[in-house]
Amino acid sequence: MQSKVEPIFPRHQLNLAGIPWRENIVYICFAGVLVFFALTIGDKGFLTVSNLFNIARTTAMIAVISVAMTFIISSGELDLSVGSTAALAALVSALAIQAGFGFVGGVVAGLLCGLVVGIVNGFFVTVVSIPSFLVTLGMMQLVRGIDMRITYTNPVPVRNGVFSAIFGPGSIGVVPTLFIWALCVAIIGHVVLRYTPFGRQVLATGGNRVAARYSGVRTGRTKVICFLITGVGAALAGMLWTGMMGTARYNFGEGAELAAIAAVILGGTSLFGGKGTIVGTFVGALLIGTINNGLIIMGLDVSEQMMVAGAIIVLAVAFGKKPVR
Amino acid sequence: MSDGSERPPLIELSGIGKTFGGVTALSNVDFVLREGEVHGLVGENGAGKSTLMKILTGVYARDGGTILIDGEDVHFTTPRDAEAQGIAMIFQEFSLIPTLTVAQNIFLGHEPRTFRNAIIRDHDMVRRARDLLDELGENIDPRARVEDLSVGARQMVEIVKALSKKARIIVMDEPTASLSESEVDKLFALVERLKASGISIVYISHRMAEIYRICDRITAMRDGRDTLTAATTDVKMEDLIRAMLGAESTAALNWVPRDVDLAAAPVLEVEGLCVAGSVADVSFSLRPGEIVGLAGLTGAGRTEIVEAIFGIRPVASGEIRIGGTRVTTTRQAIDAGAALVPEDRRTQGLVLDQSLQDNIILPNLVRFSRGIFVREDAARAASLRHIRDLKIKTDGPGKEVRLLSGGNQQKIVLSKWLERAPKLLILDEPTIGVDIGAKADLVQKVREIADAGTAVLVISSEFEELLAMSDRLLIVFNGTLIGDMNRQDVHSEEVLHHAVQG
């Protein structure tokens, strides 16, 4: 149990010049990283419009998953199965299109995959009462195994004009389609979490499950819906990946769960539930994408990129954390 | 009780001041603790009792004033410094680790060791823990896990832990808040023994009867100042309450007979209610506008009965009807017009990290929505109305509830249900940890609600409060209903005390 909190306003301690730095750490980091890369590699093409849209395009999938992840984390749970679910939806939708079910059939099949994984996760977490970390850790493995088995790790190309137009690497005007997807998902997510009764129920469930239940919130149902949201979000991301590559692969979304969790926490959502912000999450995802892009332009190899990106995430979260009393 | 003034002062705090971000929490407070005395510290929540004690125990640094221990000037910067001087504090929320054993908890951080301090001498630790417990006459197994102990036993362990660090001064903050009556008796017996062995105790409580029962001297605080210090035998309760409250009246705590329409159709009907392991064959009903008190000892089944009514606890058999509709789930109970202010507001009543406004609208989301959106403007207006009606002390509706005092938090829990205009309001220990001023506000509000036609069911371990509010009293013993008394037939608290013993 927590010790009694006296009103000493700990969050105001880092309140230089009237700005609550701690709560807006993600925006400050994002601005700082942009300025840093602009100064160091601005002349190497970082600042070109095509590169900035390239960041937006490659970040879109993680951004979609992160928005969905914000819901489940805000409800006090976690979903590690999003990466393998994305690959499953990618493969199943591609196979459905290949089998002649057409664009709509493919998308429906893909989204169904997300719903099924979400229901299974939700069932074991709420009905069987197993911690979501364990359930979804298992599902991450299980679903990835299914991904590898269904095509024996062979890629599935998608040759469907509508699919490539809607999920593909193209643009509307100059804005990449993939980024528009991410933006739409983020806007819907923001409105739902911030302005609807369901959003309140999610935050109340994560903030204090018992008090929410005593207030008539069906907390189990709320959590199951959050798992459905991550499932569907992951499925959408999987199809976006297929669209970007033109091919569905079993290894889509490897590590996406960790990138998404990092984006969510960087954005200011509490890992323990009860506090969530989609805007922060979205910027968090862009921040991670920008760091990766900048490091590639700087000429770092994959191992170095991973080290730097990891260190930045730890430092940003450490700086954004409330001080321990 | 001997007069404490002849004993030498052990600690002298003088002119203590403390501000938090521009808000003055303490100004020029004097407090003297003498050797071997039990010193009561009373005041409303926010009066500065806890802040003063946190300065004494090194949790906070003081802004001004001096602290003398044995006549020597001391400056604590961490709780460890205070501990080294033999000062220990026992918090409202216990600081024990539930998954460790009693002995492990007692010696946490100062375990007996061997092999150059690398290895903990487990047997030695258990033996010494047992010795300490035996010394206090406590029959607690040092190898038991703390999570398996009762609340009372945990408190004893906490006290033993303080003693194991050679504490000479023990600060107890609301130690009886969650104890049953027999546990309170045990605690007081222990306090007497500690006192006899020369240990000084600062005893913080809202319960006046306890203060008068065990304290030698009393200090009252109000608005960050000490307003009265006197030997218990020299101060009347009215004077003490006046020192705590200032001019505010406490008339609300006197019983006023009320008229209830006995012919009206009942709002709540409970028939043959059984709950596995706690409640057997309980039947009763409530009429509109009636305030009924549920009296009984801790563990008699009071909380279980109301949780069953509210659909939180599974009903083994029996039937519950609210406004004529049979209910089995929390959702149905709420939809039928029931509201529950639960026993533990911090874990059951509130989402502490969220704002006052978000908490108030939580059970009312449908009413505060248009289409699929929450109506923030309406929510804010309603919150402001409740802040005004219930005199909630806050900066505004956006304030996180964890930053508010117990009494204000309880008013928020009440507000969120009043917003629904409930037909049946259930209050489980509504005034635990609530200061007298807020208590009077709450009692007054409950009467208003009942006058407007809501049936009210109240559980309270404070019989004084139960007698102040109720029109009728139901006596619960060992999971069954053994009495149904009209308030006018209960002439004193003693009658009720006798009744609940079975």
The CATH class of A19-320 is mainly alpha
**The predicted structure's pLDDT at residue B463:** 79
pLDDT in tens, B290-335: 999 999 877 788 999 999 999 999 999 999 999 999 999 999 999 9
**The predicted structure's pLDDT at residue A21:** 65
**The predicted structure's pLDDT at residue A321:** 65
**The predicted structure's pLDDT at residue B92:** 61
- A169, B205, B416 from B442: Cα distances, Å: 63, 19, 14
Instruction: Tell the burial category of A88 from Cβ atoms under 10 Å away from its Cβ (0-12, 13-18, 19+).
Output: buried
Instruction: Tell the burial category of A222 from Cβ atoms under 10 Å away from its Cβ (0-12, 13-18, 19+).
Output: buried
Amino acid at A230: T
Of B21, B91, B362, the CB nearest to A200: B362
Amino acid at B29: V
**The predicted structure's pLDDT at residue B113:** 79
Indicate the pLDDT class of residue B19, thresholds 50, 70 and 90. Answer: confident
Average pLDDT of the residues in B181-203: 89
**The predicted structure's pLDDT at residue B489:** 87
pLDDT: which is higher, B292 or B137: B292
Q: Answer whether B446's CB lies under 8 Å from B460's CB.
A: no
Q: Best mutation site among A214, A271, A325 for testing chain B: the one with the most B CBs within 10 Å? A: A214
Helical residues (DSSP H) of B288-429, grouped into ranges: 302-309, 330-335, 356-361, 376-389, 406-418
CB atoms within 10 A of CB B71: 9
Query: Is the per-residue pLDDT at B346 higher than 90?
Result: no
**The predicted structure's pLDDT at residue B251:** 58
Mean of pLDDT over chain B: 87
**The predicted structure's pLDDT at residue A7:** 38
Beta carbons of B358 and A203 less than 8 Å apart: yes
**The predicted structure's pLDDT at residue B246:** 67
Residue position matching structure tokens 């249900």: B417
Q: Where are the beta strands (DSSP E) in B359-492?
A: 369-370, 373-374, 424-428, 455-459, 472-477, 480-486
Q: Answer whether B211's CB lies under 8 Å from B42's CB.
A: yes
Q: Answer whether B103's CB lies under 8 Å from B143's CB.
A: yes
**The predicted structure's pLDDT at residue B181:** 77
Dist CA A61 CA A78 (whole Å): 18
Residue position matching structure tokens 């009246």: B249
Q: Which residues from chain B sit within 8 angstroms of residue A196, using beta carbons?
A: 369, 372-374
Domain ranges of chain A: 19-320
Dist CA B80 CA B110 (whole Å): 12
Nearest CA in chain A to B329: A216
Beta carbons of B342 and A6 less than 8 Å apart: no
The per-residue DSSP string of A260-307 comes to HHHHHHHTT--TTSS---HHHHHHHHHHHHHHHHHHHHTT--HHHHHH
Looking only at the bridges linking them, the beta strands covering B424-428 and B455-459 are parallel
**The predicted structure's pLDDT at residue B371:** 84
Q: Of the candidates B294, B237, B289, which has an alpha carbon nearest to the alpha carbon of residue B422?
A: B289
**The predicted structure's pLDDT at residue B6:** 64
Average pLDDT of the residues in B74-82: 87
CB atoms within 10 A of CB B292: 24
Query: Is the per-residue pLDDT at B176 higher than 90?
Result: no
Q: Of the candidates B340, B500, B427, which has an alpha carbon nearest to the alpha carbon of residue B485?
A: B500
Of B350, B374, B403, the CB nearest to A208: B350
Average pLDDT of the residues in B484-492: 86
Nearest CA in chain A to B337: A216
Dist CA A120 CA B449 (whole Å): 46
Q: Of the candidates B458, B460, B448, which has an alpha carbon nearest to the alpha carbon of residue B421?
A: B448
Beta carbons of A211 and B363 less than 8 Å apart: no
Q: Answer whether B175's CB lies under 8 Å from B214's CB.
A: no
Q: Tell me the Ramachandran region of residue B311: left when phi exceeds 0, alpha when psi lies from -120 to 50, beta otherwise.
A: left
- The percent helix, strand, coil of chain B (3-state, each to 5) is 35, 25, 35
Tokens at B265, concatenated = 């159709």
Nearest CA in chain A to B50: A6
Confirm whether the ipTM is greater than 0.85.
Answer: no
Q: Which residues of A touch B (CB under 8 A)?
A: 1-9, 12, 191, 195-197, 199-201, 203-204, 207-208, 210-218, 270, 274-275
The per-residue DSSP string of A141-196 comes to HHHHHHHHHHTTT--EE---HHHHHHHSS-EETTEEHHHHHHHHHHHHHHHHHHHS
Beta carbons of B21 and A8 less than 8 Å apart: yes
Q: Of the candidates B406, B390, B405, which has an alpha carbon nearest to the alpha carbon of residue B441?
A: B390
Query: Which range has highest mean pLDDT (B104-118, B348-362, B460-474)?
Result: B348-362
Phi, psi of A64 (to 5 degrees): -60, -45
Q: Which residues of B touch A (CB under 8 A)?
A: 20-21, 23, 25, 50-51, 54, 91-95, 310, 312, 330-331, 334, 340, 342, 347-354, 358, 361-363, 365-366, 368-369, 372-374, 376, 402-404, 416
Dist CA B94 CA A1 (whole Å): 8
Phi, psi of B304 (to 5 degrees): -65, -40
Average pLDDT of the residues in B238-262: 73
Of B310, B354, B369, the CB nearest to A203: B354
Dist CA A151 CA A145 (whole Å): 11
pLDDT in tens, B366-390: 889 888 888 999 999 999 999 998 8
Dist CA B195 CA B146 (whole Å): 26
pLDDT in tens, B142-174: 999 888 888 788 888 888 888 888 889 999 988
**The predicted structure's pLDDT at residue B222:** 86
Q: Which residues from chain A sit within 8 angstroms of residue B362, using beta carbons?
A: 200, 204, 211-212, 215, 217
Q: What is the pLDDT along chain A (325 residues), one digit of tens a residue?
A: 333 333 334 444 445 555 566 678 888 889 999 999 999 988 888 989 889 999 999 999 999 999 999 999 999 999 999 999 999 999 999 999 999 999 999 999 999 999 999 999 999 999 999 999 999 999 999 999 999 999 999 999 998 889 999 998 888 888 899 999 999 999 999 999 988 889 989 999 998 898 898 888 899 999 999 999 999 999 999 999 999 999 999 999 998 999 999 999 889 888 888 888 999 999 999 999 999 899 999 999 889 888 888 888 788 777 766 654 3
Q: Answer whether A30's CB lies under 8 Å from A283's CB.
A: yes
**The predicted structure's pLDDT at residue A25:** 81
Beta carbons of A3 and B93 less than 8 Å apart: yes
pLDDT: which is higher, A81 or B140: A81
